[in-house]
């Protein structure tokens, strides 16, 4: 992601301390590359270090890194950080350590040819870090400088104050409902089973489609943005603690609604419509469903829907599908993405359609939205709310869990956080082997494809929101 402009970097320990906050975890056996725009930090890229040591493999790896960083159109330099183990007490590489110097030479060549020459580079081990170019023992004494300097840096303290935290690596601490009482889990599961039966055969009914989106809209509006994971509120709690999906009335969504939402995720057309609605507005979700021709006769069938909660958004923030849209912009928080130094502050409710670059009445298709090609800027606030709901719904196993985890993985991919996307999609395929959307997105992530929004500085996600810019 891009460092907020009001944070001043005074030394290398600040740069190194920023990286774990940018990624959300402390990397290992990784290369982290950061673009520079003059004296300002740009985009952050993390990739696994290559396993092979052959020259051709290193050169291909270096070219790939350069291609990713070219997404930052204003970059004129690069910083490199090798997160590895294997330093002896004298600061030299152990006999079994992975040697990064041949790769560094290939990266210097590839990035120099791309117009982003390497300005500086560091190596970070388990206990020490050091500049790879420094030969001054007074500046970089063996075995290096202690890692505590990074963890205790001034910039690290400022990031924590902004509400940032460094968590476990992707796959180590995965979202779920481990703390939810068994009785509540059982109530949600029972409701899901009942609603699955009630919704059977209604996947092509337009009235039922609208009712499903009504339920998701109400659920999204009921989520406090300060309670969603990843929020930038100092001391803010996660959704699991602050607004559980099940429990006493007034604290969160009731088991009946949670079960209905899980049941609706079992219908691929409804699942996709929820993702599109969150990113591009309800009008785009409805228009895309019409374009796919999913609707058929059945207007006489009764509509199934549970009681919906009252919205928690302010009255001025609520609007229906026909409401005027307000323009928004964002700043990235990516493992692979661009950057920007300003952000708009407008927030839409899930029912509103974002402004389209093709005109007021032009609505993006499902494929465009799912690949991050349209709208010009997605509704990051609603996507954050949707992530919170999906985390809470990713329990119970089976197809509903796979759908919720796939949605979470898609949101992370949209943010440019490929490692987190991969971890969530892997869990989705464990919950439901062969789950098609998870398989497709996993292949996209595996190939290193960058979401369209993450690759454009004016559209990309910002971890800390407008207040940090």
**What confidence tens digit (pLDDT) does each residue in 222-232 have?**
876 554 444 43
Give the Cα separation of 84 and 386 in Å (integer). 36
SS3 48: strand
Q: Which residue has the higher pLDDT, 174 or 347?
A: 174
Neighbours of 88 (CB within 10 A): 12
48 token code pair: 């696994």
Weakest-pLDDT range from 2-16, 165-179, 394-408: 165-179
Whether 385 has a pLDDT exceeding 60, the answer reads yes
Query: C-alpha 368: how far from its chain's center?
Result: 18
Q: Can you say whether residue 338 is alpha, beta or left, with left for phi > 0 and alpha for psi between -120 and 50 degrees?
A: beta
Provide the edge-to-edge strand list for the sheet that holds 40-48: 40-48, 30-37, 77-83, 118-124, 128-131, 145-146
- pLDDT at residue 343, as a whole number: 29
DSSP result, 71-119? TSTT--EEEEEEE---B-TTSSBPTTSPP-HHHHHHHHHHHHHTT--EE
Whether 238 has a pLDDT exceeding 80, the answer reads no
Whether 85 has a pLDDT exceeding 70, the answer reads yes
Confidence of residue 347 (pLDDT cuts 50, 70, 90): very low
Q: Given 3.50.50.60, 3.40.140.10, 3.40.50.720, 3.40.50.2000, which CATH number is that of 12-161?
A: 3.40.140.10
Give the Cα separation of 244 and 224 in Å (integer). 11
Neighbours of 164 (CB within 10 A): 22
- CA torsion sign for 357, 379, 262, 438 is positive
The per-residue b/e assignment along 43-67, b for 16 or more CB within 10 angstroms, e otherwise, is bbbbbebbeeeeeeebeebbbebbe
Query: C-alpha 421: how far from its chain's center?
Result: 7
Weakest-pLDDT range from 276-285, 340-349, 371-380, 416-425: 340-349
- pLDDT at residue 464, as a whole number: 59
- pLDDT at residue 458, as a whole number: 83
The whole-chain average pLDDT of the chain stands at 78
Residue 22 in contact with residue 45, Cβ under 8 Å? no
Q: Which residue has the higher pLDDT, 232 or 83?
A: 83
Neighbours of 219 (CB within 10 A): 27
Give the Cα separation of 383 and 230 in Å (integer). 11
- CA torsion sign for 168, 47, 20, 457 is negative
Weakest-pLDDT range from 31-40, 60-69, 96-105, 330-339: 330-339
pLDDT in tens, 428-450: 999 999 999 999 999 999 888 88
DSSP result, 174-204? ----TTS-HHHHHHHHHHHHHHHHHHTT-TT
- pLDDT at residue 460, as a whole number: 85
Give the Cα separation of 91 and 58 in Å (integer). 24
97 token code pair: 């350590």
Confidence of residue 7 (pLDDT cuts 50, 70, 90): low
- pLDDT at residue 265, as a whole number: 97
Angle at 261 between CA 203 and CA 289, to 5 degrees: 35
Whether 112 has a pLDDT exceeding 70, the answer reads yes
Sequence ranges of the domains in the chain: 12-161, 182-468
Whether 237 has a pLDDT exceeding 60, the answer reads no
DSSP result, 220-272? HHHS-GGGSTT---TTPPPHHHHS-SSSSBTTB--HHHHHHHHHHTTSHHHHH
**How long is the chain?**
469
Give the Cα separation of 330 and 128 in Å (integer). 36
Which range, 42-56, 80-94, 227-241, 331-345, is most confident?
42-56
Q: What are phi and psi of 415, to 5 degrees?
A: -75, -15
- pLDDT at residue 129, as a whole number: 92
Instruction: List, in sequence order, every residue forming a beta bridge with 37; answer none if it has no partner.
Output: 40
168 token code pair: 């476990």
Give the Cα separation of 469 and 464 in Å (integer). 8
Give the Cα separation of 169 and 23 in Å (integer). 9
Whether 239 has a pLDDT exceeding 70, the answer reads no
Whether 32 has a pLDDT exceeding 60, the answer reads yes
Give the Cα separation of 168 and 419 in Å (integer). 12
- The enclosing H or E element of 36 equals strand 30-37
């Amino acid at each position: 992601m891009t460092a907020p402009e009001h944070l001043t970097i005074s030394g290398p320990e600040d740069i190194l301390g920023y990286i774990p906050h940018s990624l959300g975890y402390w990397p290992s056996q990784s290369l982290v590359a950061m673009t520079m725009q003059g004296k300002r930090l740009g985009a952050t890229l993390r990739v696994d270090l290559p396993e092979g040591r052959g020259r051709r493999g290193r050169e291909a790896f270096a070219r790939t890194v350069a291609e990713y960083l070219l997404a930052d159109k204003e970059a004129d330099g690069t910083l490199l950080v090798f997160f590895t183990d294997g330093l002896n007490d004298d600061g030299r590489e152990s006999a079994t350590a992975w040697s990064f110097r041949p790769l560094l030479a290939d990266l210097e060549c590839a990035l120099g040819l791309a117009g982003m020459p390497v300005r500086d580079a560091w190596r970070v081990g388990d206990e020490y870090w050091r500049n790879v170019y420094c030969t001054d023992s007074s500046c970089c004494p063996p075995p290096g400088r202690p890692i505590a300097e990074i963890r205790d840096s001034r910039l690290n303290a400022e990031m924590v104050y902004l509400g940032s935290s460094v968590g476990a690596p992707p796959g180590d601490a995965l979202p779920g409902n481990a703390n939810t009482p068994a009785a509540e889990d059982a109530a949600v599961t029972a409701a899901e089973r009942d609603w699955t039966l009630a919704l059977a055969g209604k996947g092509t009914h337009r009235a039922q489609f609208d009712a499903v989106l009504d339920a998701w809209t109400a659920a999204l509006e009921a989520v406090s943005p300060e309670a969603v994971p990843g929020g930038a509120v100092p001391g803010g709690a996660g959704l699991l603690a602050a607004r559980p999906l099940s429990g006493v009335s007034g604290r969160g969504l009731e088991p009946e609604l949670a079960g209905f939402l899980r049941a609706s995720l079992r219908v691929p057309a409804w699942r996709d419509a929820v993702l599109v609605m969150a990113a591009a507005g309800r009008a785009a979700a409805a228009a895309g469903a019409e374009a796919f021709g999913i609707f058929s006769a059945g207007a006489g069938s009764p509509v199934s829907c549970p009681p919906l909660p009252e919205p928690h958004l302010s009255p001025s923030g609520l609007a229906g599908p026909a409401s005027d849209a307000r323009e928004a912009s964002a700043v990235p928080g990516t493992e692979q993405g661009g950057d920007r130094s300003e952000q708009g502050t407008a927030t839409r409710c899930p029912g509103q359609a974002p402004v389209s670059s093709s005109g007021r009445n032009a609505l993006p298709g499902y494929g465009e939205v799912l690949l991050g090609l349209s709208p010009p800027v997605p509704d990051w606030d609603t996507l954050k709310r949707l992530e919170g709901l999906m985390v809470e719904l990713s329990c119970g196993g089976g197809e509903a869990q796979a759908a919720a985890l796939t949605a979470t993985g898609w949101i992370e991919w949209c943010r440019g956080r490929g490692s987190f996307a991969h971890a969530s999609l892997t869990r989705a395929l464990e919950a439901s082997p062969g789950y098609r959307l998870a398989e497709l997105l996993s292949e996209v992530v595996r190939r290193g494809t960058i979401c369209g929004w993450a690759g454009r500085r004016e559209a990309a996600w910002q971890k800390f929101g407008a207040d940090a810019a």
